Amino acid sequence: MVEGEETNFPLNARDCLYLDWSHNNGHLCRPLQDDHEITIEELEMRYDTSIKKGLTSSFASQVLERDGPNALRPPKGTPEYVKFARQLAGGLQCLMWVAASICFIAFGIELARGNLASFDNLYLAITLISVVVVTGCFGYYQEFKSTNIIASFKNLVPQQALVIRDGQKNQINAIDLVVGDLVEIKGGDRVPADIRVIFAQGCKVDNSSLTGESEPQSKTPECTHENPLETRNIAFFSTTCLEGVANGIVINTGDRTIIGRIASLASGVGNEKTPIAIEIEHFVDIIASLAIAFGFTFFVVAMFIGYEFLEAMIFFMAIVVAYVPEGLLATVTVCLSLTAKRLARKNCVVKNLEAVETLGSTSVICSDKTGTLTQNRMTVAHLWFDNHVHAADTTEDQSGQSFDQSSETWRALARIAGLCNRAVFRPDQEGLPRLVVGDASETALLKFTELTIGNIMVYRDRFNKVVEVPFNSTNKFQLSVHELEDPMDLRYLLVMKGAPERILERCSTILIKGQELPLDEHLKESFLTAQMDLGGLGERVLGFCYVYLNEKEFPRGYKFDSDEMNFTTSDLCFAGLISMIDPPRATVPDAVMKCRTAGIRVVMVTGDHPITARAIAANVGIISEGSETVEDIAIRKRIPVEQVNKSDARACVINGGQLKDMSSEDLDEALRSHPEMVFARTSPQQKLIIVESCQRLGSIVAVTGDGVNDSPALKKADIGIAMGIAGSDAAKNAADMILLDDNFASIVTGVEQGRLIFDNLKKSIAYTLTKNIPELTPYLIYITVSVPLPLGCITILFIELATDIVISLAYEKAESDIMNLKPRNPRRDRLVNEALAAYSYFQIGAIQSFAGFTDYFTAMAQEGWYPLMCVGLRAHWENVHLQDMQDSYGQEWTFGQRLYQQYTCYTVFFVSIEICQISDVLIRKTRRLSVFQQGNKVLVSAIVFQLLLGNLLCYCPGMPNIFNFMPIRVQWWFVPVPYGILIFVYDEIRKLGVRRNPGSNTFVIVDNHPPPLPLVFLVAGCDLKHKEKVSAFFHESLFCFSRYFTSTPH
Amino acid sequence: MSANKEADGGWKTFVWNSEKREFLGRTGSSWFKILLFYLIFYGCLAGIFIGTIQALLLTLSSYTPTYQDRVAPPGLSHTPRSEKSEIAFNMNDKTTYEKYTKSMTSFLEKYDKDVQLDAGKFEDCPGKPNPYRKDLETDKTMRRACRFSRSLLGVCSGDADPTFGFKEGKPCLIVKLNRIVNYIPRVSLPSPTYPGGPPPGATSRQRPNLIPLHCTNKREGEEGLVGDIKYYGFDGGFPLQYYPYYGKLVHPQYLQPLVAIHFTNLTMKTDVRIECRVYGDNIDTSEKDRYQGRFDVKITISL
């Protein structure tokens, strides 16, 4: 095999599974051999079985031993230790590992030089590692919990199969089935393995979970096609038998079944990196390059000043390490898991923490119709009788309006619907929803009549059924003959339902308001209009009629023959039409609307009919009111479809057949030019093509799906969303997120949370980054100006890991407009960009540093060390043997006294950073609103908590010797306050400058007519060259300010 | 993924290529604006900073530190200094103790009689321990320092023996109480308050107006190793008439009273650990700071 083919392997294999089964000679494409083509006798020979007695139990157990159980092996689960290791190997984590090893090296060098006193580097390394490990455990635990929730949703009741072994019928667990077993299936069962059908009676299966076809497929013993997927004599594992009975020989079990092969193929589609992972990598890049640049600069400076090489090297390492934001990792992990938790409460279980954010960046949702947008149950939607269309209640909980039920005609119609119906409630059921055996339309009618006329099963018993002609494709009707409930009335009642035009053919009269009227042209026309109207709504329309059979012609005991149909089937009385649809879920239109305002495109991809698909799309708002397709325009303008300007049509419905003929460019073009897209009658691999096309156009795509056949698309999508109730295990395995209630509206909640987390992370990161500078400058000044060290390592760790995290976690609530903005552009709207880093570091960070140094010099001066005295003091100050060092007043200090003074400095610097960070958090957390308008109780309590923690560290006895915190004088808390105010005012002025921008488009303003004030701040943004950079600066540093200006809600 | 990296400006390109391209691609005026902005920005910040520091300095007294809680109670320091609390020398090898004697000589230079002649700067204080000078409340005028002649230190004065006894294996240590502005040590008489009370040797040297210094073996059971200790200066203590110190500005010639300890009978070739301590009411010792109100030293004399 050529290398190129090797890499494309999954796609080829998938193609051969779906498209070209029989002609493909690839080894993977021959799982079924020719089991469907050989004769029954050959089949018996091949599997040592008998179509009468089945296998012998002993042989069956041998085969079971050989082939293993008949169950889909879960895709090779990642071993737990690998999952854990992954938690330790993200972008930030790697940064911290590197930092920790640098610390170890630095410690090693110090140790080798005999400097035993300095254990700071060791502590730092240990802290870094423990932060990584602890957050790793946290993340791992969170994902572990999600996995458990998902696992709990798997079918707990083992599937049963009716198998014939040794000539005896037995119920056994389906997983014990082996190749060659003779099994029986009946309506309502799940097919327990791939089965060659050898006997069938009216057997229909629903293949939708495998192929996406929504029409039931009949199964017969004849081989009708050389392709095993097309032939009628094979029933596939995991499909559902809708009606009829069949028995057959098991030809494939477990992973060797078709479904098993598809499931295993999905695991071949690689996982893409999540957007947040990309963002964090980008962030780490920025941090790393800044750290190295800074470190190198000061390495050179230190060498110039005359430090030894090794000493300068240690400075270099210390600076690089100081750049690592220790607390950020914890912040990110905790933020993500808190959101994951919140989502889980809203029925979205996230398998991968990072997927939380992905949903927020989503710009296209490719949604399934059935079950996600709709209720996945046929429901009576409209009735036509008495020459009027009546709307039925289609809500999930029957909370809607019902129609007028007083008419005689209605009673007749309801009687037909109730009697001419083979669906039954499964016996012995308690609670709702009650399960029904029967096809979808009959189920709908059954439930409808049950609701409108009461207990239908009892009702049917009163009308004894004499004969029945089931629906078939040639007749297109179904009829039954009943005795009347009044024992004195000896007439038989014939009730019939079927395709409306076929029913109409057989009618000569029509029931209007209880009166039997002749069916004239006028009534026929209104019938046809009604039928067209209802069909145009995508509804399945059935006609109903009845007749009382003449008691003379058909006396009691008359032998009705269902095959001969020896009774009246014409000149019937037409009662009405009933149309059914799988109605949209109540919450969906609202959710789709929210998606629209949020700039997210909802694309429907369904296997259903274009008309139904379109009707539902219009119903839920995927196709908005007034949007037209090319075809609509053609009809309206009365011109051929070819002459219509395609760009005039907002909406577009493409069916699978058309899609097959389109090149990928055509598809891209179609997706580009029509904002409202519906794909109907699509096959599963076409779903994959659609997803790929969207991704080519730069969208971040979410895909919903439930069937096994969806799993490749779920994998391919940026975020795959599986359905918790209807979803197959394969789909759940391939997905990143699972909707426990199968409800599209939950996705919108997820989007909101995802966006919120992105914004909050952005704020937290900006906030966290800022204090890196006031943490670093003390060290730089210490090196270059040789003042006593203003800020110690342990103190920094306390800022990073204790006080700061508390603040970063003070979660902002969703701003009301968060869902009115467009999804972020992953190329432009970064989590962190250079401009934001520059603003945080060189402006706000600089102010904070000055605050720290002011407080530091204050504390030093008030204790006797004048600022200028401090300069160059380091060597003497740190001399352990110098016990009588003189200060500015001539007082003599022992080393121990100086050390405590140094700790005092650490503490005041710590306090300064805390005070300034309070101001920082205020400027970061608000966008347009004033701080006073934007109340955030969590934030306030976080600030209070932070201050309390600071006080505890300062004033708790014993702190000086444990954590190097000293009880500082009260007034030193207030020295940095002016700087805090300065930060606040500075940022407010900058915001004011932006607000003064009169235009609505930031780019234009910035590029062409820079107003003076913003220009200054733009320059400050440091990255001015490109439009993008400029806008990015605005975007980042103003926290979506520009989004507000640039977004044009449509 | 590689394409993605390129588009994003992966980290190598970020450090070098893209950055460099930006450096090169940026117009001069753009750079100028940026530099100008930061110049102004940092200029303003520095201005605010310097202003604040100036304001701070205005609030400070030039004579007395605002707070003294870190520097008091005073440390007890000795000359020569020890390296890691250790003084080790070979009494027969001059080079091994030269650094000690040198530092003692230079330390004692300002205690020479000759440099204390200027009557404008120095005054004679009582030769016996006397109460401290009670003129604390007066204004910030220049002060004269009490004379303290090194001859008070007897054999440890270095006048007779410039090796301060090191040559004979009987080394001297010169001890001073660290000076603190306006600080007055309080004598603990008659009943000492510190735990355990002063050892009998110290009690015997208690006088009014004198802070006694007393050295003993640090470890129990090593009494024999230390041998006899002689104290020179004002009865082996710090007399109160030398206090308080008024600060560098008004009291530049201030001389602290000294006490010399003479170890006359140290055990040779053994690590001898000695602890010295001053006993005053307001001189506490601290677990963490081993030079606060006391010190310990290990003396090892080899032959």
Quote the distance between the C-alpha of residue A678 and its chain's center.
Answer: 20
Cross-chain residue pair A884–B77, CB shorter than 8 Å: yes
Quick one: pLDDT band at residue A998, thresholds 50, 70, 90?
Answer: very low
Amino acid at position A802, single letter: A
Exposure class string for A662-674: b at 16+ Cβ within 10 A, else e: beeeebbebbeeb
The answer to whether A286 contacts chain B (CB < 8 Å) is yes
Where is A87: in which H helix or E strand?
Answer: helix A80-87
The answer to whether A813 contacts chain B (CB < 8 Å) is no
Hey, is B294 helix, strand or coil?
Answer: strand
Best A286, A863, A889 residue to mutate vs chain B (most B CBs within 10 Å): A889
Best A877, A897, A974, A1022 residue to mutate vs chain B (most B CBs within 10 Å): A897
Whether B49 shows a pLDDT value over 90: the answer reads yes
**Whole-model pTM?**
0.75
User: Looking at chain B, which residue has its C-alpha nearest residue A1015?
Assistant: B33
First and final CA of chain B: distance in angstroms? Answer: 76
| Block residue for tokens 């996600």 | A372
pLDDT in tens, A820-838: 888 888 777 788 777 777 8
A779/A801: higher pLDDT: A779
Q: What pLDDT is attached to residue A209? A: 66
Rounded CA separation A495/A507 (Å): 12
Cross-chain residue pair A1020–B7, CB shorter than 8 Å: no
User: Looking at chain A, which residue has its C-alpha nearest residue B244?
Assistant: A891
Quote the distance between the C-alpha of residue B3 and its chain's center.
Answer: 65
∠ at Cα A466 (A461, A468), nearest 5°? 100
At A1026, list the tokens: 């490109």
- Residue B119: partners with Cβ closer than 8 Å, 6 or more residues away: none
Cross-chain residue pair A854–B49, CB shorter than 8 Å: yes
How far does the CA of residue A682 sit from the closest CA of chain B (Å)?
30
A-to-B residue pairs, Cβ atoms closer than 8 angstroms: 165
Mean pLDDT of A334-357: 84
∠ at Cα A328 (A323, A331), nearest 5°? 170
> Looking at residue A839, what DSSP letter applies?
I
Whether A344 shows a pLDDT value over 70: the answer reads yes
pLDDT in tens, B213-231: 888 888 887 778 888 888 9
Quick one: pLDDT band at residue A1041, thresholds 50, 70, 90?
Answer: very low
Quick one: pLDDT band at residue A810, thresholds 50, 70, 90?
Answer: low
List CB contacts (< 8 A) between B48 and chain A.
850, 982
| Block residue for tokens 């999540």 | A274
Cross-chain residue pair A891–B178, CB shorter than 8 Å: yes
pLDDT in tens, A282-297: 888 888 888 888 889 8
Range with the poorest average pLDDT among A60-74, A398-412, B195-209: B195-209
How far does the CA of residue B21 sit from the closest CA of chain A (Å)?
10
Q: Report the residue from A887, A896, A904 with minimal CB separation from B286.
A: A896
Quote the distance between the C-alpha of residue A642 and its chain's center.
Answer: 39
CB A105 within 8 A of CB A140: no
Cross-chain residue pair A891–B289, CB shorter than 8 Å: no
List CB contacts (< 8 A) between B38 and chain A.
842, 1020
The answer to whether A847 contacts chain B (CB < 8 Å) is yes
Q: Report the residue from A847, A861, A1016 with minimal CB separation from B60.
A: A861
Taking alpha carbons only, the member of A494, A679, A673 closest to residue A571 is A494
Rounded CA separation A192/A155 (Å): 14
CA distance readout (Å), A634 to A98, A641, A1017: 65, 5, 54
Q: What pLDDT is attached to residue B198? A: 63
List CB contacts (< 8 A) between B258 and chain A.
none
In A953-972, the residues whose Cβ lies within 8 Å of chain B are: 961, 969
Whether A857 shows a pLDDT value over 90: the answer reads yes
pLDDT in tens, A15-46: 444 433 333 333 334 444 677 888 888 888 88
Peptide bond into B244 cis (omega under 30): yes
Whether A774 shows a pLDDT value over 50: the answer reads yes
The CB density around residue A807, as the number of other CB atoms within 10 Å, is 24
Could you tell me whether strands A515-518 and A572-581 are parallel, antiparallel, or unpaired per DSSP bridges? Answer: unpaired
Q: What is the DSSP string of A261-277?
A: HHHHHHTTSPPPPPHHH
Instruction: Among A233-242, A459-468, A849-858, name the most confident range.
Output: A849-858
Rounded CA separation A757/A770 (Å): 20
Rounded CA separation A897/B289 (Å): 7
User: Looking at chain B, which residue has its C-alpha nearest residue A839?
Assistant: B38
Cross-chain residue pair B245–A827, CB shorter than 8 Å: no
Cross-chain residue pair B176–A884, CB shorter than 8 Å: yes
Rounded CA separation A819/A748 (Å): 9
List CB contacts (< 8 A) between B60 and chain A.
861-862, 866
Exposure class string for A63-75: b at 16+ Cβ within 10 A, else e: bbeebeebbbeeb
Cross-chain residue pair B57–A895, CB shorter than 8 Å: no
Cross-chain residue pair B77–A892, CB shorter than 8 Å: yes
User: Looking at chain B, which residue has its C-alpha nearest residue A826?
Assistant: B8
Whether A727 shows a pLDDT value over 80: the answer reads no
How far does the CA of residue B22 sit from the closest CA of chain A (Å)?
7
Whether A867 shows a pLDDT value over 80: the answer reads yes
At A121, list the tokens: 């580097």
Q: What pLDDT is attached to residue B11? A: 46
How far does the CA of residue B5 sit from the closest CA of chain A (Å)?
9
Catalytic residue among A181, A189, A368, A987: A368
Taking alpha carbons only, the member of A130, A556, A147, A62 closest to residue A340 is A147
The answer to whether A974 contacts chain B (CB < 8 Å) is no
The answer to whether A499 contacts chain B (CB < 8 Å) is no
Mean of the per-residue pLDDT values of chain B: 81
Rounded CA separation B195/A84 (Å): 57
In A851-880, the residues whose Cβ lies within 8 Å of chain B are: 853-854, 857-858, 861-864, 866-867, 880
User: Looking at chain B, which residue has its C-alpha nearest residue A961?
Assistant: B288
User: Looking at chain A, which residue has its C-alpha nearest residue B25?
Assistant: A1025
A987 included as an active-site residue: no
Q: What pLDDT is attached to residue B139? A: 58
Q: Report the residue from B65, B251, B289 with minimal CB separation from A894.
A: B289
Cross-chain residue pair A857–B254, CB shorter than 8 Å: no
Mean pLDDT of B178-196: 72
Q: What pLDDT is attached to residue A167? A: 83
- Looking at the DSSP bridge assignments, the partners of residue A72 are none
Amino acid at position A428, single letter: D
Whether A929 shows a pLDDT value over 80: the answer reads no
Q: What pLDDT is attached to residue A2? A: 35
Cross-chain residue pair A858–B25, CB shorter than 8 Å: no
Rounded CA separation A994/A999 (Å): 10
List CB contacts (< 8 A) between B4 and chain A.
278
Amino acid at position A260, single letter: G
Q: What pLDDT is attached to residue A1032? A: 40
Quick one: pLDDT band at residue A928, thresholds 50, 70, 90?
Answer: low
Rounded CA separation A392/A870 (Å): 87
The CB density around residue B133, as the number of other CB atoms within 10 Å, is 16
How far does the CA of residue A330 sit from the closest CA of chain B (Å)?
24
- Looking at the DSSP bridge assignments, the partners of residue A168 are A165
List CB contacts (< 8 A) between A1025 and chain B.
22, 25-26, 30
